Structure 1
Amino acid sequence: MSSIFNFAFLVSTKVRGLELQNNKSIAEIRAGLREQIVTFEPADFESLALRVFRFQAEYNPIYREYIRHLGVDPARITDLTQIPFLPIQFFKNHRVATGHSSDASVIFQSSGTTGQATSHHHLYDEPLYKAVSYRIFQHNYGDLNRFHILALLPSYLERNNSSLVYMMQHFIEESESEYSGFYLNNTGEMLHRLRHLADNPDGRGVLLLGVTFALLDLAESSFDLSFLQNIEHFTVMDTGGMKGRRKELLREEVHDILTASFGVPAIHSEYGMTELLSQGYSHGHGLFVPGYSMRVLLRDINDPFTISDHNLGSSKTGGINVIDLANLDTCSFIETQDLGRFGEKAGTFYVMGRFDNSDIRGCNLMVL
């Protein structure tokens, strides 16, 4: 594998520039794929993913050279498990883009400790990202205007390039609620709003979404949280991440603390990261359902090119590979550094942790 990563440092001097005369055909192909990504039905996922693969294998310089380096002929790929997945580390050292020769107006950046290389994800199509993320949320929870959304994301709000903050800003706006909003250091105001919603139910659900350490800080604070049990349709969602603020805990330990303090039967979770524009959601117990535009596959821990897209048994753990069709303008085939296993229900998955020596990231990576 070392030769693959050594190759990454040479790619920028070897790739061919996209030729101008192809721009029109690229735009036409992309427009057709984009339309399908917004509207396709689940049964059409595999055929659409293969079309996106061929598009990116041709018009993404980094991905094209990576495939060539592996000696893979894109024309011979007929199954999702045969597709080469781009190691997520490429987002740290290269601008990963399909059919675009310039930077995007929005560039998401991953979190990281001082001196640590971070990933950059260029967003070229804001409406596509918003449409996909809305549809995924709607499928799991219903329309956004049925919720008051309170986001407790202190570590993310301290940065101005977080994809999670960008998505939540969109959700807050779509909720059209005067009680929806972000909370950095104003926990008291947030609790005041929650108490008002407990005393004055209006039929909407209440979604409290937060980074793990902030939810734990609130749960273990001196505030009286007993009134939260009176909120109708109250959902607490953990986005993961201790950010070095607290000792790492098992997911079960964290969720036991949160369920007891917030008076809810289960803690929901969101699975996402800077390099992905689609999300997965868990309604409890760490079992995630990927968004409609997303498919999770597992690779063998010792052989990253042995990939499975079906249930290998509840005890089988592998590296998580993600197909994210919303990544149309970057790369839809990502080899993450997460460890996971399939759930009993087709398409579902658990996140078990990270590979050794991987960067600690802000997505939901608490060990089962």
Structure 2
Amino acid sequence: MSFRQQHLQALDSLTPASFEAAALALFRHQAAQCLPYREYLTQLGRKADRIERLTDIPFLPIEFFKTHEVRTLPLEWEPQELYLSSGTTLQQRSRHFVREPQLYRRNAARIFEQYYGPLTDWIFLALLPSYLEQGHSSLVAMVEHFAAASGQEQPAFFLRNHAALLQAISKARQVPGRRIMLIGVSYALLDLVAEYGAAPALQNLTVLETGGMKGRRREMIREELHAELQQAFGPAGIHSEYGMTELLSQAYSLGDGRFHAPTQLRILLRDPSDPFALSETRPDGAINVIDLANVDSCAFIETKDLARMHPDGSFEVLGRMDNSDIRGCNQLA
């Protein structure tokens, strides 16, 4: 059995106690088999066999996904899907070459159900216009899978057709035993609110915002955005997803502004001014993320997001580091 097969099998029984051993084994594998990561470690003068703790691992700057094919050997495997980060025509988009699309879909569904229960309990409706128009979106692929697996009859995507969305919500309310989740990029949800205000049709939904103004609206801190959305959708907290093109796993905020990560995803914080000053106990800083589902690319990524950690392991996303470009989903200034 290959290392890849063994690693993916181990993910099914992963626990917080076994995370570090699994992460270190994957690090040594990718340090040898992921060519851009191997070259990066070589340039740093870091040897994989001398890395003994998670905080010793050099994390790959996320910009590498824009400039390199971040893939593990053997390179004979052909990507079955390509996910691209959202961005303007002037921005270079990150690329995630996906060897096994069903791995992404199964993993995303398992994480969702950990926090929200079976997909079949839900009807999924989405306002993700920029992701649909630009194409190659991992978020769109995830929502498509959720909607198909739920068995819902309603279409999931509405681009900018708010009237059709409200009709779909009304129809979904007639399906017994189903809850309704509206998934939307921030500016699209605000556009809906601007057109319909606190319409009765918008009440009592589970609203999951995925961040991102994409230059279409004024940037807002998360608390301000959620307060404005709650004026239309009701007093229940606005949910959020933290994920990105370069990852295969997601964290969720269940309405309180704090994200909770599944077992295979771990957030470590670093000094924003020193990429190698990493700590498992730091209360705030820039995010380094370990995604053990990223077996075919790189599981150890240095992001440009800022966060605050809480004693229970949850985290708040505070915004972006200075001079970093506007990325895909889930980032607010």
Question: Normalising by the residue count of structure 1, what TM-score does the alignment of the two structures yield?
Answer: 0.87
Q: Could you tell me which residue of structure 1 aligns to residue 277 of structure 2?
A: 306
Q: Could you tell me which residue of structure 1 aligns to residue 187 of structure 2?
A: 213
CA contact (8 A) 1:235 1:264 kept: no
Among 332, 341, 345, which residue is 2:299 paired with?
332
Q: Distance in 2 between matches of 1:225 and 1:349?
A: 32
Q: Could you tell me which residue of structure 2 aligns to residue 235 of structure 1?
A: 206
Structure 1: tracts of 5 or more residues without a match: 1-26
Q: What are the superposed Cα offsets for residues 310-335 of structure 1, whole Å, 9 maximum, x if unpaired? A: 2x34xxx3110000011100000000
Q: Distance in 1 between matches of 2:134 and 2:74?
A: 26
Q: Distance in 1 between matches of 2:13 and 2:103?
A: 11
Among 249, 257, 266, which residue is 1:278 paired with?
249
Change over 3 Å in CA distance of 1:119–1:227 after alignment to 2: closer
Does residue 1:322 correspond to 2:289, yes or no?
yes
Does residue 1:192 correspond to 2:171, yes or no?
no
CA contact (8 A) 2:55 2:280 kept: yes
Among 101, 111, 114, which residue is 1:136 paired with?
111
Q: Distance in 2 between matches of 1:32 and 1:78?
A: 21
Identity %: 48
In structure 2, what residue type is equivalent to 1:339? L
Q: Distance in 1 between matches of 2:117 and 2:124?
A: 13
SS at match of 1:299: strand
Q: Distance in 2 between matches of 1:187 and 1:132?
A: 31
Q: Could you tell me which residue of structure 2 aligns to residue 24 of structure 1?
A: none
Q: Could you tell me which residue of structure 2 aligns to residue 54 of structure 1?
A: 28
In structure 1, what residue type is equivalent to 2:145? H
1:100 Cα deviation after fit? 3.4
Q: Distance in 2 between matches of 1:357 and 1:303?
A: 16
Q: Could you tell me which residue of structure 2 aligns to residue 255 of structure 1?
A: 226
Does residue 1:159 correspond to 2:130, yes or no?
no
Among 61, 69, 80, which residue is 2:43 paired with?
69
In structure 2, what residue type is equivalent to 1:295? R
Change over 3 Å in CA distance of 1:147–1:222 after alignment to 2: closer
1:42 Cα deviation after fit? 3.0
Q: Could you tell me which residue of structure 2 aligns to residue 294 of structure 1?
A: 265
Q: Could you tell me which residue of structure 1 aligns to residue 199 of structure 2?
A: 225
Question: Normalising by the residue count of structure 2, what TM-score does the alignment of the two structures yield?
Answer: 0.95
Q: Could you tell me which residue of structure 1 aligns to residue 314 of structure 2?
A: 348
Q: Distance in 1 between matches of 2:59 and 2:198?
A: 48
Q: What are the superposed Cα offsets for residues 79-104 of structure 1, whole Å, 9 maximum, x if unpaired? A: 11111100000011100011132541
Q: What are the superposed Cα offsets for residues 211-265 of structure 1, whole Å, 9 maximum, x if unpaired? A: 0001011112146622333x4xx31000001111111112111111111101141
In structure 2, what residue type is equivalent to 1:263? G
In structure 1, what residue type is equivalent to 2:142? M
Change over 3 Å in CA distance of 1:227–1:166 after alignment to 2: closer
The 4+ residue runs of structure 1 with deviation greater than 6 A are none
Q: Distance in 1 between matches of 2:331 and 2:164?
A: 29
Q: Could you tell me which residue of structure 1 aligns to residue 149 of structure 2?
A: 174
Q: Could you tell me which residue of structure 1 aligns to residue 332 of structure 2?
A: 366
Q: Could you tell me which residue of structure 1 aligns to residue 63 of structure 2?
A: 89
Does residue 1:122 correspond to 2:97, yes or no?
yes
1:267 Cα deviation after fit? 0.3
RMSD across aligned C-alpha pairs, in angstroms? Answer: 1.5
Aligned residue pairs total 332
Q: Could you tell me which residue of structure 2 aligns to residue 100 of structure 1?
A: 74
1:41 Cα deviation after fit? 2.7
Q: Distance in 2 between matches of 1:365 and 1:285?
A: 16
Q: Distance in 1 between matches of 2:197 and 2:220?
A: 23
Q: Distance in 2 between matches of 1:39 and 1:269?
A: 26
